[in-house]
Amino acid sequence: MRMIVLATIGAFTIAFLAEAILENSGWSTAERTASSNVRLD
């Protein structure tokens, strides 16, 4: 049981770290998938 608790804490620690690293890297999924103004030439 102790190892399950430890692994759960580990999983969420990795999740928060991953999000922080991605945000600091400049990657933005929101920008990547942003809607765009379109003009027909």
Partner 1 sequence: MRKPVTNGIRIFLFILAFLFPLSLSAQEVDRSATGGAQTLEDILARQAGQTIDTTYQLEQLGDPESAAPSSADLGVLGGASDADIWRAYRWGETDLSVSSRTAAADVVMQDSGMKWLNFRAGPLRTYGGYLLLGMLGVLLLFYILRGKIRIEGEKTGTTIERFKPLERFGHWLLAISFIILAVTGLASLFGRVALIPLFGKEAFSAYAWIGKWVHNNISWAFMLALIWVFLFWVLHNLPSRHDIGWLLKGGGLFSKHSHPPAKKFNAGQKLIFWSVIILGGSISVSGLSLLFPFEFHLFSHTFSVLNNFGFDLPTELLPHEEMQLAVLWHSIVSFVLIAIILAHIYIGSVGMEGAYAAMGSGQVEKQWAKEHHSLWFEEVEKANSSTTPAE
In 3D, which of 32, 34, 9, 36 has the Cα closest to residue 17? Answer: 9
Q: How many angstroms separate the CA atoms of 27 and 40, rounded?
A: 29
For the CB of residue 24, give the shortest distance to partner 1 in the complex, in Å.
14
Site for partner 1 in 1-40 (CB under 8 A): 1, 3-4, 6-8, 10-12, 14-19, 27, 29, 31-40
For the CB of residue 1, give the shortest distance to partner 1 in the complex, in Å.
7
Q: How many angstroms separate the CA atoms of 4 and 11, rounded?
A: 10
- Sites of contact with partner 1 (CB under 8 A): 1, 3-4, 6-8, 10-12, 14-19, 27, 29, 31-41
